[in-house]
A = this chain, B = another copy of it.
Amino acid sequence: MERPRHQGMAKNTYMRWRLPLVCLLWEVAMIVLFGVFVRFGPEADAHWEEEKQKKNITSDIENDFYFRYPSFQDVHVMIFVGFGFLMMFLKRYGFGAVGFNFLLAAFGIQWALLMQGWFHSFENGKILIGVENLINADFCVGSVCIAFGAILGKTSPIQLLVMTLFQVTLFTVNEYILLNLLHVKDAGGSMTIHTFGAYFGLTVTCILYRPNLEQSKDKQGSVYHSDLFAMIGTLYLWMYWPSFNSAVSEHGDAQHRAAINTYCSLAACVLTTVAFSSMLQKKGKLDMVHIQNATLAGGVAVGTSAEMMLTPYGALIVGFISGIVSTVGYVYLTPFLESRLHIQDTCGIHNLHGMPGLIGGIVGAITAAAATEDVYGKEGFIKAFDFTGPYQTRTPSVQGGFQAAGIVVSLLMAFAGGALVGAILKLPIWGDASDENCFEDDIYWEVPEDEESDVYHMHNPDKPASP
């Protein structure tokens, strides 16, 4: 029951040789590179038995695995179910949403293990990995999932893989500049993940502008069930965000604190989202788009500061503001960006990750600048900002300045990188669909033939019901 495509305009979306080739070649490349470079870190290596004795570690529970594995699994769920299902709101793009997210994330985490490994875990010519590397790889891919949200429904799987390759690379460079050169704190990734990912994706979608996208306008909406599937994504992101923001924080109080701050911020965010969703609609009804997305802005916006002494009420304030900003963005800014700036942002990532990410960066800079030994304790202060070695003399206000610089760097990297990648994706070789076929699974997927005719026994409106 292949629906007849519109004449002439149809592009070549045939994936049969291109997609397998990319997948297989790249996976072989991964195997070769892993073979050359990647080995188990000391805590995952069978030599750990000896290592323990050397380092006088008395218990297996001191293995980093037990500090981070529960958070890792939560983050893993956020990347694959959270993002995958959140993007399932489109009525006929559920396979693409969850399936392409699955594909790009599965490739991305491998490439991220390598890229981040070279920058952060490289010793004697080998990348030594452990559970923290798995989390960081997931984080890195999170920024790709965010960018995917902007171009959802308008790109071929090959384009997504190409974007993933480049974005992971640029993400890692940006992350290295921030964390290592600027010595910035960003455990929950407001800057490195959200700001970078969002403005990268927005730049890409701007360059891939489709002037006739209104031809598939009818498929850009949701249906009742697709909205319920999307709520699965929303809730898993919302519930596990405390794990996201605390997953790579220092052991002990920092992880503990990051989880509490995030919990508080997210709770406040729900209330203001509901308030503004109702207020900005004439009939006063709630809009599922806001509930699905803006309720998460609070998690984004405490990403940088969650492990700092933001305090629970500080977190509530951040959540309060970001819920409002995000909801207002969906109502007023998204249409404006589309009509004036030619930014077609399918999921509204500017509202969920862009602006809240910027807020997160700013809140982080302020919180760092306001830090005192009184609030943190003498040793806690040094530990929280890692003011050791060459950074021994850095003051909070200087740290605040570097944090702010991190925002600017992330934005610049996102714009430059997004422009580059957008230009590459514009090449007419990647098999993307024509404007009227966007947001439609059956371009790239075998869609069960009979849904309409058999189960719900509908008929094809294009064919006359009875000849």
Dominant secondary structure of chain A at its interface with chain B: helix
Interface residue from B16, B23, B99, B282 paired with A271 (Cβ < 8 Å) = B23
Q: Is the CB of B460 within 8 A of A264?
A: no
Number of A residues contacting the other chain (C-beta, 8 Å)?
161
Report Cα–Cα, A279/B21, bound state, in Å: 9
- Give the contacts of A73-111 with B (CB-CB under 8 A): 73-74, 76-77, 80-81, 84-85, 88, 91-92, 94-95, 98-99, 102-103, 106-107, 109-110
11 other contacts beyond A46-B254, A110-B268, A224-B448, with CB at 8 A cut-off?
A15-B278, A19-B284, A40-B257, A46-B381, A48-B253, A49-B380, A60-B251, A63-B253, A99-B291, A457-B460, A465-B465
- Give the contacts of A99-140 with B (CB-CB under 8 A): 99, 102-103, 106-107, 109-110, 113, 129-131, 134
Q: Is A145 an interface residue (CB 8 A)?
A: no
Report Cα–Cα, A303/B282, bound state, in Å: 46
A399 to chain B, nearest CB (A): 15
Q: Is the CB of A455 within 8 A of B46?
A: no
Q: What chain B residues lie within 8 Å of A15 (beta carbons)?
A: 278, 284-286
A415 to chain B, nearest CB (A): 30
Q: Is the CB of A284 within 8 A of B460?
A: no
| 9-residue interface stretch from A195-203, A310-318, A347-355 | A310-318
Q: What chain B residues lie within 8 Å of A38 (beta carbons)?
A: 311-313
Report Cα–Cα, A195/B439, bound state, in Å: 40
Q: Is the CB of B272 within 8 A of A23?
A: yes
| 9-residue interface stretch from A177-185, A229-237, A333-341 | A229-237
- Give the contacts of A426-467 with B (CB-CB under 8 A): 442, 444-463, 465-467
Whether A286 touches B131, Cβ cut-off 8 Å, given contacts A40-B309, A224-B451, A278-B16, is no
